[in-house]
Amino acid sequence: MLVPTYDERENLPLVVRRIRNSVPDADVLVLDDNSPDGTGEAADRLAAEDDHVHVLHRARKEGLGKAYLAGFAWGLERGYDALVEIDADGSHPPERLPVMLAAAADADVVIGSRWVRGGRIVNWPLHRKALSIGGNVYIKTLLGMPVNDATAGFRVYRADALRTIGLVGVDSYGYCFQADLTWRADRAGLRIVEVPITFVEREIGQSKMNPDIARESLRNISRWGWEYRRGQVRSIGERLVHRPKDH
């Protein structure tokens, strides 16, 4: 379980406890970006009390994507079969982990989805729901992906799937990171499954979402979509040029 943190001192012990109760055999890696509120120290205390909890202290805040890339590298080096992304703020329900891990037996990527039948969001204002739904519809339409919640941050990756995707060229470090890896997995022909979850807005602390993150996502996704659609047009043109003529 990869848990990125920045100023989550109060939330972290709560979510780690829920993870450990839901999947007692799993290991937890806290990825702390040098939180000024003492989250790193809180993580160290949890690790000292529980052999299943580990901490990776990072020098500075570099974005969600870089934290997860560091976590993937850590997990792959140690031979884990699957790596899980889960937020520290409690918005991702650890109680759904057994279902998601079971689904990973027949899938390469499992997404805890808000926008499939059975999925829902609690305590979000209407404008934020509209932004999430609109963004995911835009991604699905532009990139042609059969995924309803490409921006979801609660997911399971099989280790082999991460190796197939290839993480060297990933350059999305904000919330766009999730759509980036979904897009790479889809292009690689991997099997992506969505499992419904109830997403609950954080009760402690402040959301890390900001306009810069939204702009990065829009810019990158639009660029990928343009390249994808241009490639499709080029491919169709080449097939027409090389089509045998009727005699």
Between CA 98 and CA 23 the distance in angstroms is 7
**CA-to-CA distance for 177 and 202, rounded, in angstroms?**
21
Residue 183 has pLDDT above 70, yes or no: yes
In DSSP terms, 158 is beta-bridged to: 82
Where do the DSSP E strands lie in the chain?
2-5, 28-32, 53-57, 82-85, 109-113, 120-122, 155-158, 192-196, 198-200
The single-letter code of the amino acid at 247 is H
221-234 tens-digit pLDDT: 776 666 666 665 56
CATH code of the domain made up of 2-241: 3.90.550.10
157's tokens = 């990756």
Percent of the chain with pLDDT strictly greater than 90:
65
Q: How big is the chain, counted in residues?
A: 247
Report domain extents, the chain: 2-241
pLDDT tens across 195-224, in order?
999 999 987 766 655 556 566 666 777 766
The pTM (predicted TM-score) of the whole model is: 0.86
pLDDT in tens, 91-130: 999 999 999 999 999 999 999 999 999 999 998 989 889 9
Q: Is the pLDDT of residue 148 over 90?
A: yes
Percent of the chain with pLDDT over 70: 82
Instruction: Measure CA of the first residue to CA of the last residue in the chain; give whole Å.
Output: 63
